[in-house]
Structure 1
Amino acid sequence: MTSTTHAPPIRDAALRRLGSALKATGYEFTTVTPDTHERVNRRPGNELGRTLPDVLGWSRPFRAGVLPPDFVRLLEDARALRRDGDLWYSLIRVSSCDGELFVHSAFPPETPDAVFFGPDTYRTVDAALTHLAARATAPSRVADIGTGSGAVAVALAKRVPASEVLALDINPTALRYARINAALAGTTNVDVRHSDLLADVPGDFDLIVANPPFMIDPERRAYRDGGGPHGHDLPMAVLDSAVHRLAPAGSLVLFSGTGITEGRDPLLAAAGKRLDGTGLRWTYREVDPDVYSENLEQPAYTHADRIALAVLTATRSRDDR
């Protein structure tokens, strides 16, 4: 497994040891939406962290002596602690998914290189595994575009250990975390690489999966902003890239969101224009009709009645090309 980003080895080793130590304790944490996260943390009594999930899941500040010394030492070795007066803050979070642990950015993920992990991560893993189970043959070459924490790549690699799974991202922090997380899961067939979509990797793929940013974000945060007036410029760029890189019988699974206005779905309309005439068989379905409703109060979504989540699949004919 390779990567073009090189953090100091001691920091990566410390995070791997931290993940292994957390596994040994039975640590689990299911990451919720930012809105739910804020609501729960505002409850009386939740101001300070008292447990490992409080600190490494809910990103609550904590005082000295709260966490076991070994865990504090590992966080310090990884340079993943920040002090503010008598309070300490973890700069990373650790979430559980598909029986594995994944290091990612602390809450709130405000830095330009933040690595997001949340409910859409779980949904994308589920969509990818559902599609994988329906395939007639196992894919021999897989690409996870915008891998982030590497959760999708790891889940797929576990099911198809004989395949090559490329975990692709342009964010050096994402590449670092994906590399650490793949090692924690023991998935030696995950190859972490820097790539702008598929531009920096050669060849065709039997399966391409992507969960790109899809929100309309005036702040243009990389982990969130999908680009364009509807937030789907990046999802459509993924689609454009993948259409030309599918092997015969190869398929794309694209998980995205869309703002629905008076029954009109701009993501579906844009995808139809690109896919019609390509010869690919494709399907599109809503998997959740109403999510992230707090964003409807923002100026960017005054046109939308709801924000929905959808999964698009596109498959090339076995006899094509």
Structure 2
Amino acid sequence: MSNLQAPTLPSEETTAPDTSYDLALLQLGRRLQADGYRFTTVTPLTHERNNAREENRKARSLRDIFGWNRPFETDLLPAAELEALLKTGVLRAHAGLWVSEVRWSSLDDLLFVHSSFPTVAHDSVFFGPDTYRFAQAIEEHLRTSPHPIKNAVDIGSGSGVGAILIGRARRDAQVLALDINPAALRYTAVNAALAGTENVSAWHSDILAGASGEFDLIVANPPYMQDTQQRAYRHGGGRLGSELSVRIVAQAINRLSVGGSLLLYTGAPSVDGVDLFLESARALVDMPNLAWTYREMDPDVFGEELETPTYAKAERIAAVVLTVTRTQ
């Protein structure tokens, strides 16, 4: 491993100011787990529609505070907990009330911390319907692939879902969670500690540039929109957002062990019936030493983007899974 930098996750005894936020998140996650907290994160439009209802203008429960990100009054949290979360920056003042700076989402029995709603900052860490589909694809691969996994990597790990699912299912594997976003690495470290996956490490890297060696499993759920603001959590580059996904394919197929696989969940824009992502990726994976499959998990996602000038010529955006295995 080279040129990598790992964030430090504090222990319970750590009191240094630069780790207090991370520790506060870990303690909050454990508190929510103990309380049986669960929240399914929806699309931004559905989230907005729910919060716009008059009865939802203020929070009435922990789900409202940490799931729906609704403002809440002082009496909804114990005074000591409120004060501690305000001090560490997990909560902040908002129009005479309080609001959380993070969200907590459920995935089966796991909890993941990620950015608050709406995700508008350039370093936002996204979790939503794509995350659930990505998780389903990984879990299916882990159930059906006979290839042993000793070294795995999650490219653009975000909240760390891919790495943590692999780490929990394959306790003997060493799993890297790679991202260029420091906020994502911090959240991944917290989420890995909360999940008890000590074999998962969060590292700073642009795709695989900072990591060495071959991998038995590479997974990725990269940004795949062409975002006019080029926000890191959302922007997939040119070709209507498919450019980054193609770059990941190009790098990953050269870093697979024999029998190892790349599992890429991404968005595929179509113009005049042509899948722009598949058109580019096919040229990379149609090789004698590679076997690959391609399927649509959802034929129509982010349909509202078709109303924007950027996607004026697009027919649809599909959610797809490309699996590539090195055979020799």
TM-score (norm 2): 0.93
- Cα offset for 1:3? 5.2
Residue 297 of structure 2 is aligned to residue 287 of structure 1: yes
Match of 1:61 among 58, 67, 71: 71
Partner Cα distance (1:70, 1:133) in 2: 44
**Bigger mean CA offset, 295-304 vs 307-316:** 295-304
Which residue in the other structure is 1:266 paired with? 276
Partner Cα distance (2:159, 2:90) in 1: 16
Letter in 2 for 1:166: L
Identify unmatched segments of 5+ residues in structure 2. 9-16
Residue 323 of structure 2 is aligned to residue 313 of structure 1: yes
Residues 15-34 of structure 1 aligned to structure 2 (within 5 Å): 15-34=25-44
Residue 155 of structure 2 is aligned to residue 153 of structure 1: no
Which residue in the other structure is 1:214 paired with? 224
Partner Cα distance (1:269, 1:4) in 2: 36
- Cα offset for 1:75? 2.1
* Equivalent residues of 1:290, 1:306 under 8 A apart: yes
* Equivalent residues of 2:270, 2:316 under 8 A apart: yes
Aligned CA distance change for structure 1 residues 145 and 209 (closer, same or farther; 3 Å): same
Which residue in the other structure is 1:171 paired with? 181
Residues 39-78 of structure 1 aligned to structure 2 (within 5 Å): 39-78=49-88
- Cα offset for 1:4? 2.9
Across the aligned residues of Structure 1 and Structure 2, the Cα RMSD in angstroms comes to: 1.5
Match of 1:45, SS state, is helix
- Cα offset for 1:190? 0.4
Match of 2:267 among 257, 272, 279: 257
**Bigger mean CA offset, 247-256 vs 93-102:** 93-102
**Bigger mean CA offset, 63-72 vs 155-164:** 63-72
Letter in 1 for 2:50: V
Partner Cα distance (2:184, 2:286) in 1: 34
Q: Which runs of 4+ in 1 moved over 4 A?
A: none
- Cα offset for 1:165? 0.7
Residue 20 of structure 2 is aligned to residue 10 of structure 1: yes
* Equivalent residues of 1:215, 1:224 under 8 A apart: yes
Match of 2:139, SS state, is helix
What is the count of residue pairs matched by the alignment? Answer: 317
Which residue in the other structure is 1:203 paired with? 213
Partner Cα distance (1:52, 1:176) in 2: 23
- Cα offset for 1:70? 4.8
Which residue in the other structure is 2:127 paired with? 117
Letter in 1 for 2:6: T
Letter in 2 for 1:216: Q
Residues 181-200 of structure 1 aligned to structure 2 (within 5 Å): 181-200=191-210
| Percent of residue pairs identical | 48
Partner Cα distance (2:273, 2:325) in 1: 27
* Equivalent residues of 2:239, 2:276 under 8 A apart: no
* Equivalent residues of 1:143, 1:205 under 8 A apart: yes
* Equivalent residues of 2:71, 2:94 under 8 A apart: no
Match of 2:54, SS state, is coil
Which residue in the other structure is 1:299 paired with? 309
Match of 1:94, SS state, is strand
Aligned CA distance change for structure 1 residues 117 and 72 (closer, same or farther; 3 Å): same
- Cα offset for 1:132? 1.4
* Equivalent residues of 1:18, 1:74 under 8 A apart: no
